[in-house]
Structure 1
């Protein structure tokens, strides 16, 4: 993944500086995102997005003050993590396809009686320790 970031850099002289920034702050960015998302895979996605952004804008980012850089990276990872949470909440649930218009409509009494009989048979086949509750 580091090779992809280095390919994005405009200036080849800044590769070593970027590698130092990446190695120094990757855990901070990951843990910040993980605290918000609670999912390691999503936290890794945030890590990749943040450092891809940093690589694209590396010449503009001030690296003299390590505390300001750390605060900036934490802010970036938080905003990306919250964006990811927001996107997850907005995703529609998978819709169950509607039955065709010409499909027969089952009688409620028949369906419930058949279901009860089928469930009773299945429960009877279970081991006693699972059947009792």
Structure 2
């Protein structure tokens, strides 16, 4: 993954600085994100998003070993993890098994709707027209 991030940088100085940041803070960032998200995959996403933000703001970091740098990175990864947590909370994920069950239920409803449409089509024209006008059934 480091190679991907380094490809986003132009100068060797920036690449060296980012490599030092990556090696020094990657595990700490993952730990902080995982404390918030309680999910390894989402924590990795939070860390990766934070590294992209670090690249965008690399000029704001003067010294890799400075306590200000550590605080800056911790705040960034924490905020990113909180944003992912809120996103997951607002848009809960459905497991694959649940999605298959939902799809089966939906397919059953479509079959019912088809049967209803066919039944209405067999009605005398006057009743069919009334139902079509009232409920918007299609032929």
TM-score, normalised via structure 2 length: 0.65
Q: Deviation string for 1:71-103 (max 9, x for gaps)?
A: 111111111111111111121666652713354
Contact preservation (8 Å) 1:50, 1:77 = yes
Q: Trace 1:82-97 onto structure 2 (pairs within 5 A).
A: 82-91=82-91, 97=106
Q: Return closer, same or farther for 1:66/1:103 CA change in 2, 3 Å cut-off.
A: farther
Instruction: Report the Cα distance in structure 1 between the residues aligned to 2:23 and 2:64, rounded to whole angstroms.
Output: 16
**Size of the alignment, in residue pairs?**
104
Distance 2:65 2:2 in 1: 23
Q: For structure 2, which runs of at least 5 residues remain unmatched after alignment? A: 117-139
Shift of 1:65: 6.1
Deviates further, 7-16 or 35-44:
7-16
Structure 1 residues 58 and 10: alpha-carbon distance in aligned structure 2, compared to 1, 3 A threshold:
farther
1:44 counterpart = 2:44:
yes
RMSD of aligned C-alpha atoms? 2.2
TM-score by length of 1: 0.67
Structure 1 residues 64, 82: CA separation in 2 closer, same or farther (over 3 Å shift)? closer
On the 8 A contact 2:20/2:64 being kept in 1, the answer is no
| Aligned residue in 2 for 1:53 | 53
Q: Deviations over 1:13-55 (max 9, x none)?
A: 2211211111111111110000001111111111111112112
SS of the aligned residue for 2:63 comes to: coil
Contact 1:8–1:56 (CA<8 Å) still a contact in 2? no
Any gaps of 5 or more consecutive residues in structure 1? 105-133
Q: Distance in 1 between matches of 2:70 and 2:19?
A: 15
SS of alignment partner, residue 109 of structure 2: coil
For residues 40 and 56 of structure 1, do their structure 2 counterparts lie closer, same or farther at Cα, with a shift above 3 Å needed? same
